Amino acid sequence: RTAAGQWGLFGHTKDRAHAAKAAPTVLELTELGETADQLREQLSMPPFALHADFVASRGPVSAHAVGEPKQAQAWLARLESQEGKPA
């Protein structure tokens, strides 16, 4: 949805409507990432890097930063390139 133009996933603006609309997705992604980290810890594997990178990428950015839709497209490309590769 963000790659198609819906803002809020990365929290780059202070728009409360965008944040509210994206909140369920942010929560779901955060919970999935935390679960992956817990499982990886039990298996003596390093933390899930994509989860840490997602959390770090959220929040205010400079006015010259790439917009959320383009950032989301880059994330989708990154995920696609990771498919089938061991983490």
Is residue 65, in this structure, part of any structural domain at all?
A: yes
Domain count along the chain: 1
Is 5 a domain residue? no
Question: CA 66 from chain center: how many Å?
Answer: 15
Per-residue pLDDT of the chain (87 residues; tens, 9 = 90+): 999 999 999 999 889 999 999 999 999 999 999 999 999 999 999 988 888 998 999 999 988 989 999 999 998 998 888 766 665
Structural domain that includes position 77: 16-82
Is 62 within a domain?
Answer: yes
pTM confidence score: 0.80
**Is position 26 within any domain?**
yes
The single-letter DSSP state of residue 16 is: H
| CA distance linking residue 31 with residue 62, whole number of Å | 28
Q: State the Cα–Cα distance between residues 44 and 69, nearest whole angstrom.
A: 35
Whole-angstrom distance, CA of residue 34 vs CA of residue 15: 26
Axis crossing angle, helix 49-57 with helix 68-82, rounded to the nearest 10: 180
